[in-house]
Amino acid sequence: MSLNQVLEALSRNLTAGGLLTAPDDIKPYVSDWTKTAGTAMAVALPRSTAEVVSVVKACRDAKVPIVPSGGRTGLAGGAVGTPGCLVLSTTRLNRLGEVDIVGRSVYAEAGVVTQTLHEHVHAHDLEWPIDLAAKGSSTVGGNLSTNAGGVAVIRYGMTRKWVTGLQAVTIDGDVLELNGELEKNNTGYDLVQLLVGSEGTLAIITGATLKLTRRPRHLCTLLLAVRNFTAVPDLFVESRHLAYDIQAFEFFSNRCLTSVKEKLGRKCRLTVEAPFYVLIELEGEDAYRLQASVEEWVAPLMTQGLVLDGMIGSSSEERKEIWGLREGITESLALSGRVRKYDVSVPVRHAVEFIDDVKRTIDDQKPVFDLYLFGHLADGSPHLNLLKHPHASMEQFEADGERFEKVLYAILKSHGGSVSAEHGVGLLKKNWLTYSRSATELRLYRSIKHAFDPHNLLNPGKVVDV
């Protein structure tokens, strides 16, 4: 089939405006937040699962690779368009079902924006607890395809825990209706869990039945200054004695705090300057008792010297002020210059040694960047951000970054860590996969990929090469 014939076939099967072929129209769809250069022969915007099926069949018959595309907020290049591909955008698959308050679930098409979903279920006093910075643009389908994490993983886990059923289209155009609303269905291999996190390489997710939970009651947010990094996991162990559920347990270095204060003009009410800060959010039944318990818990930790200073935010303004310090870090660094980011994970009990190893490497290598350390301690996923020294050249920065990266991945491997905690593999982490996965695992990945997509047409070149 010629290219024109393929485009004609596609266009015939899509409702008006469903096929973009002009370079300017295609451009916004071929990359993600990494700004990796991408390309595509066209972009399809199906309005229904039936339209997805017809697009997939046309591509399969013509051997055109398909790159599924959601909100394109990915950070691993998973949605980057590859030469000759068709980008299949879920933007117009954006229907939301009624909230089922008996079964506590809701059906959402893949293109529904995360925040739209949140607002939809909040109206029924329920929560879909996947909370991430990109929620204003990211989609349900993208969250599922990448098994998104976020700030509430310590309490709720990753996206894969909040889905019961999937609708997905195979490369043959079969519509899989997997599991629906069932919480319990032990009849064979869990294809829902296999598709979650598969980054569009096995089938195209077109909709999902999402599990909901009750909204948190009273929240209380603590900001604690601690004497060193070791105190961060120590404090986490101490937090076990609190009779409350921990909603978040985040940390950041003084360097990160300084950046937020200087670049974004935000204020921190703590009077003591410390090497590290910990943000803990707790949920309780009663605001007054929650605050009293927290004060009682912190007092001896201050006497012991584990905590140097602290503040408790109970009102939504105070809580917002504390979160603003943690959530402003990425923006403040972006304003400061070129940054390399590493989204890694290690077992929580290795966190201190891992950070020691990282710091030692930087001391040894004397690179032209500074380390900005923050992230999710309780999930074992610190974010390492490397900020270029103001006067260093880009060339030197990238060279030093690559030199550091090689050692970083070896350190990670030695601690049983992962090269991608949250962001997935996509295009950009593929070469480092052997640091997190064994040869046997990769062989099984290829067999599974072959079972679903024998001609390698679904997001080819992503996750694993066949």
Q: Which of residues 25-84 bind a second copy (CB under 8 A)?
A: none
Q: Is 233 among the residues that bind a second copy (CB under 8 A)?
A: yes
Give whole-number Cα distances, 267 to 142, 222, 270, 385, in Å.
Answer: 35, 15, 9, 22
d(CA 58, CA 449): 20
CB of residue 123 vs a second copy: minimum separation in angstroms? Answer: 14
Can you tell me the distance from the alpha carbon of 239 to that of 226, in angstroms, rounded to the nearest whole number? 14
Residue 18 binds a second copy, judged by CB under 8 A:
no
**What is the widest separation between alpha-carbon atoms in the chain?**
76
Q: Which is nearer to a second copy, 92 or 423 (CB)?
A: 423
Contacts of 454 (CB under 8 A, 6+ apart): 171
Residue choice 25, 61, 119, 183 for contact with a second copy (CB under 8 A): 183
CA dihedral 311, 150, 49, 169 (to 10 degrees): -160
Q: Is 190 in the site for a second copy (CB under 8 A)?
A: yes
The answer to whether the CB of 26 falls within 8 A of the CB of 42 is yes
Nearer to a second copy, 146 or 259 (CB): 146
Asked whether position 98 contacts a second copy by CB under 8 A, the answer is: no
* From 210, 386, 429, 460, residue interacting with a second copy (rule: CB under 8 A): 429
CB of 429 to a second copy, least distance (A): 7
| Beta carbon of residue 391, minimum distance to a second copy (angstroms, whole number) | 36
- Give the residue, chosen from 197, 367, 401, 461, that forms a contact with a second copy under the rule CB under 8 A: 197
Looking only at residues 344 through 403 of this chain, which bind a second copy when binding is defined by CB under 8 A?
Answer: 345-349, 379-381
Site for a second copy in 283-312 (CB under 8 A): 284-286, 289
167 binds a second copy (CB under 8 A): no
**Residue with smaller CB distance to a second copy, 185 or 258:** 185
Segment contacting a second copy by CB under 8 A, of 111-119, 271-279, 325-333, 429-437: 429-437
Measured in degrees and rounded to the nearest 5, phi and psi for residue 17 equal 80, 10
Which one among 32, 131, 321, 422 touches a second copy, defined by CB under 8 A?
Answer: 422
Q: Which residue lies nearer to a second copy by CB, 62 or 433?
A: 433
Closest approach, Cβ 283 to a second copy, in A, equals 10
Closest approach of a second copy to the CB of residue 368, in Å: 29
Residues 136-155 that bind a second copy (CB under 8 A): 146-147, 149, 153
Interactions with a second copy, residue window 432-461 (CB under 8 A): 433, 436-438, 440-442, 444-445, 447-448, 450-452
Decide whether 147 or 221 has the Cβ nearer to a second copy.
147
- Give the range of 50-58, 94-102, 356-364, 397-405 binding a second copy by CB under 8 A: 94-102
Residue (176 or 223) nearer to a second copy, CB: 176
Q: Does 270 bind a second copy (CB under 8 A)?
A: no
- Supply 335's token pair: 């304003």
Residues in contact with a second copy, total (CB under 8 A)?
Answer: 84
CA 247, CA 279: separation in Å to the nearest integer? 10
Give CA separation, 304 vs 210, 228, 235, 297, 308, in Å. 45, 14, 12, 12, 9
Distance CA 80, CA 130 (A): 24
Contact letters for a second copy, residues 104-123 (x by CB under 8 A): x-------------------
